[in-house]
A and B are shown apart, each in its own frame.
Chain A
Amino acid sequence: MGNIIELKNITKTFKDGFEAVKDFNLEVEKGSFVTFLGPSGCGKTTTLRMIAGFDTPTEGEILLNGKDISKLPPNKRPINTVFQRYALFPHLNVIDNIAFGLKLKKLPKDEIRKKVKKALEIVDLEGFEKRKIQTLSGGQQQRIAIARAIVNEPEILLLDEPLGALDLKMRKEMQLELKSMHDKLGITFIYVTHDQEEALTMSDKIVVMNEGKIQQTGTPEDIYNEPKNAFVADFIGDSNMFNGVMTGDRKVRFCGHEFVCVDDIENGTMVDVVVRPEDVIITEPSKGLITGTVDSAMFKGMHYEITVLSGKNEIVIQTTKRSEPGEEVGLIVEPDNIHCMIAEHTINKIESAVNSDYSLDFLDGELKADLTEIIPGAVFKDGVLYNAHSEEIDVSKIKIIISITHSDIEMTDNLDEGLLTGRIINLIYKGDHYSYVVRVDDHEIDLVVNDEDLWNMDDHIGLIIPPECIKYSLKK
């Protein structure tokens, strides 16, 4: 089947300059169930509103059956919406709410009555015709909102977090019903949610979004098993994330051990490693690939959630067998349960707190930075920092990201000369230079350093970072 709707290079910038959606590209197959999934503020609702016609894209086009509809008003589109808070008309009863769209189309009365009756049957609320909206429960209002949309036989049904206001049991029930409704009606559904479980249960295709951009598009299985980047892995399901380095052919080093994995990534590449909590096996310390101490064990109904500390790494494990806090355990992960993704950062990023004297806490040292350059609109007055609204900024609540490009760090023998000291834990020749991973002393932070000279594994070195090469940004 062909594509019913295509979004091409859609960008939406609001008047205040906020870029809600950036270069969004998507093709939706006719009759499919597509879900936009992401945290609040990721642009999923804005995208939906552009498809419905409530917002106009700043750039790009929306093609419905090959025709650009991006400038068409909502009442001219064969698309209907189920709103987040239902948006049922409080001055009309159930039948008039559902018949609202049909009456506008000036259909004969008999036909309207038949269609409304059928819609009420589909949502399982026969006999509710004359009821006032106010007398319905949340779940019933939800069903009426769905009936009001599908009775118009739209080509696409948009659902904006329709189950958000329902309780858990009701939500599960409605998930199944929506799914079977989709199968029965054959209408294309575009569904917006921040609930990953809901998305995984119902969708044919999931579009994971963050900060206005598509992170990954794929089937629920793809997205769960093969997350494309750290955001997707973290957002979908529970996961343990580690910084790792490829150390050989299908070998990855993280948590202080070299694991065998199945991802074929070039030796020496920095990777994000994802291990699902249910994939970690607890065994005796002697049999484990790594060992650790149980920090906490929580009963979760279906399983225990056990947190193990191995060195400075925290590993969350889901298992049916209880372990006692303080117990020494060994941990095993099968190679095909280790998922490595090439780390996106070619820049070292370190999160830093701001001290009360407005200097930045940088590992063991302090950095002086001009906070007025980092925080938009901030000004210093009598030694106190104010924001654009002239309120004093509470620096304990803000975090600054310090970014240093790999090639800007210089290594030295003279430990006193460097801003930081550390040990080389991995090195790899990259043709014209070596790429080192340096573990900073007393910290769980690895920095990637590019250098033309050859150093040895385990060398203790100082790191010189020229102040002008350090970039700062405010963490949101």
Chain B
Amino acid sequence: MKAFHLNRKQLGIPYAVFLICFVLAPLIVIIHYAFTDASGAVSLANLKAFFTSPNTIGTLVYSISIAVVTTLVCLLIGYPLAYILARSKMKKKYTIVLMFVMPMWINFTLRITALKEILTVIEGNLAFHPFLNTIIGMTYDFLPFMILPMYTTLINLDRSLEEASRDLGAGEFQTFLKVTLPLSFPGIVSGVMMVFLPSMTNYVVLDMLYNSTYIMGSLIGSYFSAYDWHGGSMIALVLLVIILAFTLISGRFEEDEKDRKGGALL
């Protein structure tokens, strides 16, 4: 009797079904709604509305500002921390890394609620500093995602490269600028990706910290709750394109990195 044998194609069937149901089908539905009007006719009105409405453009700008500032703050706190941790000879450094990563294991709403209480004690009324509070909340939420990839890159960095730089006449700071920083760039890129993209849409932080301004996530939600499927889908699609563009750009850096690793195997 011939043994029952699955070939590669057959093994792929469940994944194909999954992709069709949960990725492809929703995407088609979104595209369909985005480019039709209420009567079901094909129309570019939604696209036009997105780029002409001060409401949507304003939200996009606000979302991007929050994402940019959050990313910068995370980078400024995260890189020195990752660097110090990667370089320290402390025996306890894994514990410290763990302490920064541990909040990721605690329920997100719980953490933000705790933060809200602390900020209320400090500020009195949260409504006075909505932008600042949002940045604090986002930074608190996403900092571990920034630290981890940078820490991993820095700890795997070949220390003899820094020694080579010193040997060739570079001082400590020159070595950091010319060798350490460029070589930790892949870690920075993936950290930025991990923080920038979600902070553009994570409206729960704003909601919970009483920031009533919309960002992209909450804007889409508001369209859908008003039964405007067409307008909401178009916003979702535009956001998707922005994220795709961003991913493609940063993907380039990662390809460089792959080259490098492949080269080292030769």
A residues sitting closer than 8 Å to B (CB atoms) are 52-54, 73-75, 79-81, 83-85, 87-91, 100-101, 104-105, 132-138, 148-149, 152
Taking the closest CB of chain A, its distance from the CB of B88, in whole angstroms, is 14
Residues on B with beta carbons closer than 8 Å to the beta carbon of A87: 158, 160-161, 163-164
Contacts A89-B161, A104-B174, A134-B259 given; indicate if A52 touches B167 (C-beta within 8 A).
yes
Contact with A along B211-234 (1 / 0, CB 8 A): 000000000000000000000000
B residues sitting closer than 8 Å to A (CB atoms) are 158, 160-161, 163-171, 174, 178-179, 182-183, 185, 259-260, 262-264, 266
What are 27 residue pairs bridging A and B, where the CB atoms are less than 8 Å apart in the complex?
Answer: A53-B167, A73-B166, A74-B163, A74-B167, A75-B166, A80-B167, A80-B168, A81-B164, A81-B167, A83-B160, A84-B160, A87-B161, A87-B163, A87-B164, A90-B260, A90-B263, A91-B185, A100-B165, A101-B168, A101-B169, A104-B174, A105-B169, A134-B260, A134-B263, A134-B264, A138-B266, A149-B167
Contacts A54-B163, A89-B179 given; indicate if A75 touches B263 (C-beta within 8 A).
no
A105 to B174, CA, bound (A): 12
Contacts A89-B179, A134-B263, A135-B263 given; indicate if A104 touches B170 (C-beta within 8 A).
yes
A136 to B260, CA, bound (A): 11
Residues on B with beta carbons closer than 8 Å to the beta carbon of A149: 167-168
Question: Beyond the given A104-B174, A136-B266, A138-B266, could you list 8 further A-B residue pairs with CB under 8 A, ordered by the A residue number?
Answer: A53-B167, A54-B163, A54-B167, A83-B164, A90-B260, A90-B264, A91-B183, A100-B178
Taking the closest CB of chain B, its distance from the CB of A463, in whole angstroms, is 50
Nearest chain B residue, comparing its CB with the CB of A96: B178
Residues on B with beta carbons closer than 8 Å to the beta carbon of A73: 166, 171
Q: From the candidates B166, B168, B171, B183, name the one contacting A90 in the complex (CB within 8 A).
A: B183
Residues on A with beta carbons closer than 8 Å to the beta carbon of B260: 90-91, 134
Contacts A87-B163, A91-B183 given; indicate if A100 touches B266 (C-beta within 8 A).
no
Residues on A with beta carbons closer than 8 Å to the beta carbon of B169: 75, 101, 104-105, 152
A101 to B259, CA, bound (A): 25
Asked if residues A132 and B171 are in contact (CB atoms below 8 Å), the reply is: no
A382 to B266, CA, bound (A): 53
Closest 6 CB pairs of A and B: A134-B263, A101-B168, A87-B164, A87-B160, A74-B166, A104-B169
Nearest chain A residue, comparing its CB with the CB of B160: A87
Nearest chain B residue, comparing its CB with the CB of A135: B263
Taking the closest CB of chain B, its distance from the CB of A73, in whole angstroms, is 7
- Determine which residue in B158, B182, B183, B263 has the highest number of CB atoms from chain A within 10 A of its CB, and name it: B263
Asked if residues A75 and B170 are in contact (CB atoms below 8 Å), the reply is: yes
Residues on B with beta carbons closer than 8 Å to the beta carbon of A89: 161, 164-165, 179, 183
Residues on A with beta carbons closer than 8 Å to the beta carbon of B262: 134
Q: From the candidates A53, A74, A84, A132, name the one contacting B263 in the complex (CB within 8 A).
A: A132
Contacts A74-B163, A89-B161, A90-B260 given; indicate if A148 touches B182 (C-beta within 8 A).
no
Residues on B with beta carbons closer than 8 Å to the beta carbon of A101: 168-169
A100 to B182, CA, bound (A): 14
A273 to B253, CA, bound (A): 63
Nearest chain A residue, comparing its CB with the CB of B161: A87
Residues on B with beta carbons closer than 8 Å to the beta carbon of A79: 167
Q: From the candidates B165, B183, B266, name the one contacting A134 in the complex (CB within 8 A).
A: B266
A372 to B183, CA, bound (A): 49
Contacts A89-B161, A89-B179, A132-B259 given; indicate if A137 touches B167 (C-beta within 8 A).
no
- Determine which residue in B164, B179, B264 has the highest number of CB atoms from chain A within 10 A of its CB, and name it: B164
Asked if residues B166 and A91 are in contact (CB atoms below 8 Å), the reply is: no
A79 to B168, CA, bound (A): 8
Residues on A with beta carbons closer than 8 Å to the beta carbon of B263: 90, 132-136
A81 to B183, CA, bound (A): 21
A167 to B16, CA, bound (A): 47
Residues on A with beta carbons closer than 8 Å to the beta carbon of B166: 53-54, 73-75
Nearest chain A residue, comparing its CB with the CB of B263: A134
Nearest chain A residue, comparing its CB with the CB of B175: A75
Nearest chain A residue, comparing its CB with the CB of B163: A54
A184 to B242, CA, bound (A): 60
Residues on A with beta carbons closer than 8 Å to the beta carbon of B170: 75, 100, 104
Taking the closest CB of chain B, its distance from the CB of A105, in whole angstroms, is 6
A134 to B258, CA, bound (A): 10
A88 to B182, CA, bound (A): 14
Residues on A with beta carbons closer than 8 Å to the beta carbon of B179: 89
Residues on A with beta carbons closer than 8 Å to the beta carbon of B158: 85, 87
A80 to B164, CA, bound (A): 9
Taking the closest CB of chain B, its distance from the CB of A306, in whole angstroms, is 42
Residues on B with beta carbons closer than 8 Å to the beta carbon of A133: 263
Residues on A with beta carbons closer than 8 Å to the beta carbon of B161: 87, 89-90
Asked if residues A85 and B168 are in contact (CB atoms below 8 Å), the reply is: no
Taking the closest CB of chain B, its distance from the CB of A187, in whole angstroms, is 15
A73 to B178, CA, bound (A): 18
Taking the closest CB of chain B, its distance from the CB of A404, in whole angstroms, is 42
Residues on B with beta carbons closer than 8 Å to the beta carbon of A54: 163, 166-167
Taking the closest CB of chain A, its distance from the CB of B161, in whole angstroms, is 5
Asked if residues A148 and B183 are in contact (CB atoms below 8 Å), the reply is: no
Taking the closest CB of chain A, its distance from the CB of B40, in whole angstroms, is 54
Residues on A with beta carbons closer than 8 Å to the beta carbon of B174: 104
Taking the closest CB of chain A, its distance from the CB of B265, in whole angstroms, is 9
Nearest chain B residue, comparing its CB with the CB of A138: B266
Taking the closest CB of chain A, its distance from the CB of B86, in whole angstroms, is 18
A88 to B264, CA, bound (A): 10
A105 to B165, CA, bound (A): 13
Residues on B with beta carbons closer than 8 Å to the beta carbon of A91: 182-183, 185, 260
- Determine which residue in B167, B183, B266 has the highest number of CB atoms from chain A within 10 A of its CB, and name it: B167
Nearest chain A residue, comparing its CB with the CB of B256: A91
A101 to B163, CA, bound (A): 13
Nearest chain B residue, comparing its CB with the CB of A134: B263
Residues on A with beta carbons closer than 8 Å to the beta carbon of B160: 83-85, 87
